[in-house]
């Protein structure tokens, strides 16, 4: 138990006041040695960081994450394995063996689990679960998850206050299973899964031993949070299908196992409305916006903003744009497609190939349709969040067509900051569809023809209809900010603690 924690226990907290522990692969802070025996701290972006801002004022929050850089490792070494306060949060960084971390992150979590949960396989060829993958499972994924659980247990085991632990996402599926024997039933374990949870059939790609280990571990939780009710339902079905002695007795959102009930609940993640408004007003964003206005001219803007990631379906989006220009020549020279693409996992061969295909397709569209004044599609590759927010203010059509997406925050940010009463073309397989679908123009991500027609419909939609839809969408996002997402999880965990 850390010295700092004991002091907080004594001074500030009553036994009613819970300790909240977040565990995630990537933490909220990164560290760089400052050359003077100290460290420069940088705060990461992301919904969880925002949501915690307000929470840390009311509750004591501890964050356990992996050290991801040399600077992080040096900071962790300096703390000697103890949590230390950083911007109001007690932070503990674990420092896994580098090979183990590589196996956990680059062999199991990202290629295997991400691909299964977004159903991205080319089944005759991949996945190919060979000896290396099995080793990575045991010595990487399982080992790093165990290390996370041990770090969490060590920071909470000395407190007699109620404890709620929130492991985040697909990197940490084994944490509940390791934690429960270490901490017993007195703690609430409540993971949140940010990405889709597909139905039982998708999980057949994973060998039974790995699959059952993940499901059994997750069922050591008290409640599991998902982005949508569909994901929660799929989880319940997956457990029923693959595990013996697991029942749901007709319930769509809970599983009975060993005479315990594990809830599967939907907590749709959202954006930080206040922070986005501030960002819109910042000088840099305004400057980028005026540059974009010049670039767009009097054409109508079709925008997409994505990580370069096959599940985002960027390639079919371009094919649909080509089909739009072919099927509806009246839009030629009157529209501008802008794709802001953020590099992601660029060391992975499949991702490099995917970017190459995107650039080739865009090049072919420009070769076919451009004239002296018009370049039909502009691809911008790079990291620039203010530019993305500036562009979102200006779109007439926002194209969000993922094959599968846990939520898709671009859809929510877009409808919030847009100033053109733009239309949202939204995949029915984005989590955001459950909240925004009825006011968007929905598409099947595989239907290139249908996506072209959806963009056409968006472009010719009468002004009054566009205004009404845009207003309804904006209102919906305003009313469900990211804080609400996190507080709802905390409230349910607190209620469960009280009923114990």
Which C-beta is closer to ligand GDG: that of 90 or that of 399? 399
Which of the residues 29 through 58 are near ligand GDG (CB under 6 A)?
A: 45, 47
Nearest approach, Cβ of residue 47 and ligand GDG (Å): 6
87, 326, 383, 419: which one contacts ligand GDG (CB under 6 A)? Answer: 383
What is the distance between the terminal CA atoms of the chain, rounded to a whole angstrom? 25
Task: With beta carbons less than 8 A apart as the criterion, state whether 139 and 100 touch.
Answer: yes
29, 194, 223, 316: which one contacts ligand GDG (CB under 6 A)? Answer: 194
User: For every residue of the chain, which 3-state class applies, written as one string?
Assistant: CCHHHHHHHHHCCCCCCCEEEEEECCCCEEEEECCCCCEEEEECCCHHHHHHHHHHHHCEEEEEEECCCHHHHHHHHHHCCCCEEECCEEEEEECCCHHHHHHHHHHHHHHHHHHHHHCCCCCCCCCCCCHHHHHHHHHHHHHHHHHHHHHHHHHHCCCCCCEEEEEECHHHCCHHHHHHHHHHHHCEECCECCCCCCCHHHHHHCCHHHHHHHHHHHCCCCEEEECCHHHHHHHHHHHHHHCCCEECCCCCCEEEECCEEEEEEECCCCCCHHHHHHHHHCHHHHHHHHHHHHHHCCCEEEEEEEECCHHHCHHHHHHHHHHHHHHCHHHCCCEEEEEEEECCCCCCHHHHHHHHHHHHHHHHHHHHHCCCCCCCEEEEECCCHHHHHHHHHHCCEEEECCCCECCCHHHHHHHHHCCCCCEEEEECCECCHHHHHHHCEEECCCCHHHHHHHHHHHHHCCHHHHHHHHHHHHHHHHCCCHHHHHHHHHHHHHHHHHCC
Among the candidate windows 125-133, 274-282, 378-386, 454-462, which touches ligand GDG by CB under 6 A? 378-386
Which C-beta is closer to ligand GDG: that of 18 or that of 268? 268
Which C-beta is closer to ligand GDG: that of 178 or that of 197? 197
Nearest approach, Cβ of residue 69 and ligand GDG (Å): 16
413, 435, 453, 492: which one contacts ligand GDG (CB under 6 A)? Answer: 413
Nearest approach, Cβ of residue 29 and ligand GDG (Å): 15
Give the pair of three-digit tokens for residue 188. Answer: 């609430």
Nearest approach, Cβ of residue 159 and ligand GDG (Å): 29
Q: Does 401 bind ligand GDG (CB under 6 A)?
A: no
Nearest approach, Cβ of residue 50 and ligand GDG (Å): 11
110, 384, 442, 444: which one contacts ligand GDG (CB under 6 A)? Answer: 384
Which C-beta is closer to ligand GDG: that of 147 or that of 168? 168
Q: Does 270 bind ligand GDG (CB under 6 A)?
A: no
72, 396, 405, 421: which one contacts ligand GDG (CB under 6 A)? Answer: 405
Q: Does 406 bind ligand GDG (CB under 6 A)?
A: yes
Q: Does 195 bind ligand GDG (CB under 6 A)?
A: yes
108, 410, 454, 458: which one contacts ligand GDG (CB under 6 A)? Answer: 410
Which C-beta is closer to ligand GDG: that of 220 or that of 408? 408
Residue span 280-309 as binding mask against ligand GDG, x where in contact by CB under 6 A, dash where not: -------------------------x-x--
Q: Does 409 bind ligand GDG (CB under 6 A)?
A: yes
Which C-beta is closer to ligand GDG: that of 80 or that of 382? 382
Which C-beta is closer to ligand GDG: that of 238 or that of 427? 427
Rounded Cα–Cα distance for residues 261 and 124 (Å): 39
Contacts of 81 (CB under 8 A, 6+ apart): 92, 154
Among the candidate windows 27-35, 59-67, 77-85, 381-389, which touches ligand GDG by CB under 6 A? 381-389
Nearest approach, Cβ of residue 301 and ligand GDG (Å): 16
Q: Does 391 bind ligand GDG (CB under 6 A)?
A: no
236, 338, 407, 417: which one contacts ligand GDG (CB under 6 A)? Answer: 407
Q: Does 269 bind ligand GDG (CB under 6 A)?
A: yes
Task: With beta carbons less than 8 A apart as the criterion, state whether 227 and 234 touch.
Answer: no
Which of the residues 426 through 465 are near ligand GDG (CB under 6 A)?
A: 431
Where does this chain bind ligand GDG (CB under 6 A)? 45, 47, 194-195, 269, 305, 307, 342, 383-385, 388, 405-410, 413, 431
């Amino acid at each position: 138990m850390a010295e700092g924690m004991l002091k907080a226990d004594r001074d500030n907290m009553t036994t009613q006041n819970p300790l909240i522990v977040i565990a995630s692969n990537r933490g909220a802070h990164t560290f760089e040695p400052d050359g003077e025996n100290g460290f420069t701290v940088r705060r990461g972006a992301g919904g969880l960081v925002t949501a915690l801002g307000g929470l840390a004022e009311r509750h004591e929050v501890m964050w356990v994450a992996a050290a991801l850089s040399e600077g992080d490792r040096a900071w962790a070494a300096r703390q000697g394995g103890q949590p230390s306060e950083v911007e109001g949060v007690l932070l503990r960084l674990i420092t896994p063996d580098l090979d183990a971390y590589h196996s956990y992150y680059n062999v199991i979590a990202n290629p295997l689990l991400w691909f299964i949960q977004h159903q991205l396989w080319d089944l005759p060829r991949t996945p190919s679960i060979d000896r290396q993958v099995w080793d990575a499972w045991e010595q990487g994924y399982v080992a790093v998850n165990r290390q996370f659980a041990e770090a969490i247990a060590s920071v909470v085991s000395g407190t007699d206050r109620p404890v709620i632990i929130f492991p985040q996402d697909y990197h940490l599926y084994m944490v509940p299973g390791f934690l429960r024997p270490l901490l017993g039933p007195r703690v609430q374990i409540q993971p949140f899964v940010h990405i889709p949870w597909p139905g039982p059939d998708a999980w057949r790609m994973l060998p039974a031993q790995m699959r059952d280990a993940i499901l059994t571990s997750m069922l050591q939780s008290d409640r599991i949070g998902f982005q949508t009710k569909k994901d929660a339902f799929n989880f319940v079905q997956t457990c029923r299908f693959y595990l013996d002695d697991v029942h749901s007795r007709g319930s769509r959102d809970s599983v009975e196992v060993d005479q315990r009930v594990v809830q599967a609940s939907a907590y749709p993640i959202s954006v930080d409305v206040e922070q986005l408004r501030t960002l819109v007003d910042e000088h840099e964003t305004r400057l980028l916006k005026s540059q974009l206005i010049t670039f767009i001219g009097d054409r109508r803007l079709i925008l997409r903003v994505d990580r370069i990631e096959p599940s985002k379906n960027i390639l079919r989006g371009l094919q649909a744009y080509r089909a739009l220009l072919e099927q509806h020549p009246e839009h030629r020279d009157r529209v501008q497609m802008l794709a802001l693409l953020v590099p992601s996992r660029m060391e992975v061969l499949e991702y490099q190939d995917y970017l190459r295909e995107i650039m080739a397709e865009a090049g072919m569209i420009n070769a076919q349709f451009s004239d002296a004044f018009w370049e039909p599609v502009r691809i911008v590759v790079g990291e620039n969040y203010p530019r993305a927010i500036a562009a979102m203010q200006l779109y007439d059509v926002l194209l969000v067509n993922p094959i599968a997406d846990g939520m898709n925050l671009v859809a929510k940010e877009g409808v919030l900051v847009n100033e053109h009463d733009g239309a949202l073309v939204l995949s029915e397989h984005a989590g955001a569809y459950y909240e925004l679908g009825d006011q968007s123009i929905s598409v099947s991500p595989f239907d290139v023809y249908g996506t072209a027609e959806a963009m056409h419909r968006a472009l010719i939609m009468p002004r009054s209809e566009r205004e009404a839809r845009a207003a309804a969408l904006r209102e919906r996002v305003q009313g469900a900010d990211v804080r609400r997402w996190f507080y709802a999880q905390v409230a349910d965990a607190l209620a469960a603690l009280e009923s114990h």
